[in-house]
Amino acid sequence: MCGITGILNLQYLPSPSRDELKPMITRLAHRGPDGYGYYADEHVGLAHARLSIIDLQGGDQPIHNEDHSIQVVFNGEIFNYIELRKELKQQGHRFYTHSDTEVIVHLYEQYGDSFVNHLNGQFAIALWDKKRQRLFLARDRTGIRPLFYTVASGRLFFGSEVKALFAHPAIKRQLDIRAMGEIFTYWAPLPSHSIFDGISTLPPGHMMTAEKGEKGKLDIKRYWDWDFPTNIPDQRSAEDLAAELKELLTDSVRLRLRSDVPVGAYLSGGLDSSVTTSLIKHYTNTPLRTFSVSFEDDEFDESSYQKQLVDYLGTRHSHVLCKTSDIRDLFPRVIWHTESPILRTAPTPLMILSAKVHSEGYKVVLTGEGADEVLGGYDIFKEAKIRRFWGRFPDSKLRPMILDRLYPYLKNSPMASRTYAQHFFKKGMEHFDKPYFGHTPRWRTTRRSWQFFSSDVKAELQDQHSYDALENLLPPEINHWKPLNRDQYIEAHTLMSGYLLSSQGDRVTMANSVEGRFPFLDHRVIEFANQLPLRYKIMGLNEKYLLKKAMKGIIPENIRNRTKQPYRAPDSQSFFDNGKPADYVEHLLSKQKINQAGYFDAQAVTRLVNKCAKGRAIGFADNMAFVGILSTMLVDEMYVKATRLY
């Protein structure tokens, strides 16, 4: 894992210099503390911050081809590099390192832009073709590794994080109000927006080319996407499919254990991390080293399940206890790394956990992220299934009663009152035929935070009240897919890529120079799962049915059959001590600061703060609003006003 940044002259301008690149790449020192590398010519400048994982001695970047006409810097890992290297050698290519990076330059020589289709990995790639004076950028299929870019003063600037771009004086600092409205709806900006005006993200599964003289024209193409059959074949038995799934996951785990440094694994106590750790234990020779986080509050804590699996596997295990005071104290640092407003505090304990991993001498961890999106694990999928069943007979009294089976783990469940639950989930039935129907309850709850926006922000967002912007991004064929497949696609392209793999993934692991790897997001696993009959994902209301079947006899039965409990952390209660807010919270959410920033209504925010101080913010909407407002103010203070708060 690493950090990359660079500058391409789109017009005839002075050559990019190391003096320009150095402050940009040093902002990414946390991503690559093991050294810096540079390349510059009259057209382009590339810089790299290295976290040494493969070929510790010889893998310094930029990496070049035989005649130095191709230069590459990249952030990530190519897991099938050994197989690719063998093939490329047979085709006559000569290597001077043992790194996974070098396969990229030779694959490009061999296959051109389509080389990305040969990669099994997680990556953000910047490749300079000197002969063609052409810059090629690419991002991995599911968006595990970030890549931002902007055009300013006749140049293309790019980097792994926005802070690298802001290190250059040509880049303006301003929040994008429309992206803010998207975050307070979908939890993340829609592709290819970022929270910063004029700064874009290269979407997952996309490539970009830029050439000098194009006057800012960028050519962006999709090279991979989630796809589902219109008619799903149903010819193979569950036993055959479960065996193939286990084989695919085992190979995915094996590939992600490739490293010249020790590899650990996260162990949450849920099904997904239990699968990855058990596959390491039973099907590889890698010593099993695991890490977990626990909480003081039983509502969030899963340590009893973690202990069961630790005992079952006999793993060497470390855990950290996350207290509410830790969330309060570390939240500004979390936002410095997320570079975006967030609606929950959940990234904070994961940053504490990655700090523990780093302190134990580990640079790499495997996690279970992606299993729910790929194999049908989320409550939102079950909820949508019930609502569609109900929507076919909206006057039924019996069908909505099935909702009682949802959210048993919540202390303040919306199911506590059947009348309220039926009223809440019946809203949005007018979207019954829309591909995003299953997501409207969550988005409606999140969008309640709009009431806290200032009148100016509300005016700017007045045409964003529909979900048209999201619908316009969806592929036309989505209307012919099965409902669950539609739900999976939207989940993968909004919450997963925009938040879970970013603010809750890459940013909080790399904050401590730790690389996360995700076996469930191997594209072969996704492509296999996308062909499955729907009942093998959700059997009745039994989520991830095929995965559970594949793991029979491999993980403990009570964990294999455990009801899904999403990872969560204490929210607004973390920021108050006996009703008194933390100093920085009191400062940033004061009427003066709120009015100064102009994003929120000061009186409405004050009422919310008082409600949270009294411990009365027990619902999702209030907690999301509080965390979202506080994190927005932190982003504004740190990045727009350039004040460091931690």
Assign residue 362 a region (left: φ > 0; alpha: ψ between -120 and 50; beta: otherwise).
Answer: beta
How many other CB atoms are found less than 10 A from the CB of residue 416? 12
Whole-angstrom CA distances from 640 to 123, 162, 170, 191, 394 are 28, 12, 14, 22, 48
Which residue's entry shows tokens 């230069």? 71
Q: Give every CB contact of residue 159 below 8 A, 6+ residues apart in sequence.
A: 3, 4, 5, 6, 24, 28, 147, 148, 149, 165
Distance of CA 378 to the CA centre of its chain: 16
- Per-position b or e across 64-86, b if 16+ CB within 10 A of its CB: bbeeeebbbbbbbbbbbbeebbe
Q: Give every CB contact of residue 361 below 8 A, 6+ residues apart in sequence.
A: 262
Q: Give every CB contact of residue 387 below 8 A, 6+ residues apart in sequence.
A: 425, 429, 437, 438, 441
| Alpha carbons 37 and 52: distance in angstroms, whole number | 13
Report the first-to-last Cα separation within the chain, whole angstroms. Answer: 25
| Alpha carbons 247 and 232: distance in angstroms, whole number | 22
Q: Is 612 a catalytic residue?
A: no
Q: Are strands 316-322 and 289-295 parallel, antiparallel or unpaired?
A: parallel
Specify the DSSP class assigned to residue 169: T
Count of CA atoms in the C-beta half-sphere (13 A) of 462: 5
Token readout for 502 is 């970013």
Which residue's entry shows tokens 């009745």? 540
Q: Give every CB contact of residue 91 below 8 A, 6+ residues apart in sequence.
A: 110
Render 44-81 in DSSP notation, one character per residue. EEEEEEE---SSTTT--SSEE-TTS-EEEEEEEEETTH
Q: Give every CB contact of residue 316 below 8 A, 6+ residues apart in sequence.
A: 287, 288, 289, 290
Rounded to 5°, angle at Cα 529 from 523 and 533: 160
| Alpha carbons 629 and 341: distance in angstroms, whole number | 8
- Per-position b or e across 7-22, b if 16+ CB within 10 A of its CB: bbbbeeeeebeeebbe
Specify the DSSP class assigned to residue 379: H
Length of the chain: 646
- Of 2, 257, 597, 634, the catalytic one is 2
Q: Which of 44, 156, 168, 186 is nearest to 498 (CA)?
A: 186
**Residues forming the active site:** 2
